[in-house]
A and B are shown apart, each in its own frame.
Chain A
C-alpha cells in the first residue's frame, strides 16, 4: 500500500492526494500524525481526547483538501491550524463539562481534581531519565496552567522547532505577538518552578 512517498515534498503529496491517491494521503498522515497528536495533547491535556482530535483533523483535511490553497499557506500550518481549532473545541467542551460537574456538588471538587482527565498534564511515554521526576512534574503543571495560546506557542517553538512566522499563521496572530506569548509562557513557568 504505502510505498516510498516519504521523501516527497508536502506540495507533491498534497497534489497527488487531491487527485485521489490514497498512498500519498497516507504518507501525509505518517508524516504529520506525531505533530498533530502533540498539538492536540498539548491543548486538551488528554491523551484520549487527543486521539479523537487526530482522527477528526485528518478526516477534515481529507474533505477539504480541495479548498486548501498552497499559495496562501503551507500545508503544515494549515493542518496544524485545523488541529488546534478542533482541540480548542474539545477543550471548551471539557471545561463546560467540568464546570457543570463542579456546580452540582461542592464535595465533587476534590474528587474532580484527583480524577480530572484534563489537567494536570501528564505526558505519556515521557522520557524522564535525564530529569528529576519532581521537576518534570512541576514544569508540566505550570504548563497546564498557562492560557492555551501561550502553551501552544511555546510548545510549537520549544518542542517542534517551528518558526515564529509559522506559529503566527497557526495562531492567527503576528510574529511579534508570538514572541511575547512565548516570553510570557516561559516567565510564568519559571516563576512557578523556581519559587
Chain B
C-alpha cells in the first residue's frame, strides 16, 4: 500500500474516527514512515489552527440589518400580493357562500373583503415556490427587492 492510501485514512481518522484506534496496518506504516507521521501531525495542527482562526464572527449589527431587510420584504408582500390573488380568493368565498345558501342578511362586501384577508391571501400565494434544485441553479437574476 502506498502512502496516499494511509494518509487518506489519517485524514478521515482526524475527522470522524478520533476515538477509534488506528488499524494495525496503519500503525505499522506510521512507525516506519516519517513522512506519514509528519502528515498526521500536520493535519492535527491545521485543525487546531482552524478552530482558533476560523471562527470569524459576522460584523456587529449585520443580524439586525438582515432582519430589517426581511421585514421590509414581508411588509411589501402584504401590500402588493393580494391584488393579483384576490380573484381566486373571491371566487372561493363566493362559491362557499353560495354553497351554504348563506347570503341572506349579510352584506356581500363584508364577506368578500374580510378584515383579515391579508393573512389568508398570503397562504394562497406560494404555490409557485421554486424547488430546492431551482434555488441552487438560479443565478440570482430575480429582483433584489431593493
Residue of A nearest to B50 (CB): A158
**Interface bits A143-182 vs B (CB < 8 Å: 1, else 0):** 0000000000011011100011000000010000001101
Residues B42 and A190 in contact, CB atoms below 8 Å apart:
yes
Residues A131 and B49 in contact, CB atoms below 8 Å apart:
yes
Query: Whole-angstrom distance between the alpha carbons of A50 and B59 in the complex?
Result: 10
Residues A51 and B59 in contact, CB atoms below 8 Å apart:
yes
Check if B104 is an interface residue, CB within 8 A of chain A: no
Residues A67 and B56 in contact, CB atoms below 8 Å apart:
no
Check if B53 is an interface residue, CB within 8 A of chain A: yes
Q: Per a CB cutoff under 8 Å, which of B16, B122, B132 touches A20?
A: B122
Residue of B nearest to A180 (CB): B8
Check if B108 is an interface residue, CB within 8 A of chain A: no
Query: Whole-angstrom distance between the alpha carbons of A172 and B135 in the complex?
Result: 13
**Interface bits B113-146 vs A (CB < 8 Å: 1, else 0):** 0000001001000100111101110111000110
Query: Whole-angstrom distance between the alpha carbons of A117 and B117 in the complex?
Result: 49
Residues of B within 8 A of A26 (CB): 67
Residues B66 and A186 in contact, CB atoms below 8 Å apart:
no
Number of contacting residues on B, CB 8 A?
A: 49
Number of contacting residues on A, CB 8 A?
A: 65
Q: Per a CB cutoff under 8 Å, which of B43, B71, B129 touches A186?
A: B43
Residues of B within 8 A of A55 (CB): 65-66, 69
Residues B47 and A124 in contact, CB atoms below 8 Å apart:
no
Residues A159 and B55 in contact, CB atoms below 8 Å apart:
yes
Residue of B nearest to A172 (CB): B136
Check if B100 is an interface residue, CB within 8 A of chain A: no
Query: Whole-angstrom distance between the alpha carbons of A194 and B45 in the complex?
Result: 12
Residues A125 and B8 in contact, CB atoms below 8 Å apart:
no
**Interface bits A72-92 vs B (CB < 8 Å: 1, else 0):** 110000100110011001000
**Interface bits A45-85 vs B (CB < 8 Å: 1, else 0):** 00100110011101110111011110011000010011001
Determine the main DSSP class of A at the interface with B.
Answer: helix
Residue of A nearest to B134 (CB): A67
Residues of A within 8 A of B57 (CB): 34, 37, 125
Residues B69 and A67 in contact, CB atoms below 8 Å apart:
no
Residues B53 and A62 in contact, CB atoms below 8 Å apart:
no
Q: Per a CB cutoff under 8 Å, which of B47, B58, B119, B126 touches A158?
A: B47
Query: Whole-angstrom distance between the alpha carbons of A56 and B65 in the complex?
Result: 11
Query: Whole-angstrom distance between the alpha carbons of A190 and B38 in the complex?
Result: 10
Jot down 8 A-B pairs with beta carbons below 8 A, ordered by A. A22-B74, A33-B58, A68-B132, A81-B132, A128-B52, A172-B136, A179-B8, A182-B11
The 8 closest A-B pairs by CB, nearest first: A67-B129, A159-B54, A37-B58, A66-B126, A158-B50, A183-B11, A190-B42, A66-B129
B residues within 8 Å of A by Cβ? 7-8, 11-12, 15-16, 38-39, 42-43, 46-59, 62-63, 65-67, 69-71, 73-74, 119, 122, 126, 129-132, 134-136, 138-140, 144-145
Given A26-B67, A128-B52, A139-B49: 20 more A-B contacts, CB < 8 Å: A20-B119, A25-B67, A25-B70, A33-B58, A37-B57, A37-B58, A47-B59, A51-B59, A51-B62, A60-B135, A86-B140, A125-B56, A126-B56, A128-B53, A131-B53, A155-B50, A164-B16, A183-B12, A186-B46, A190-B42
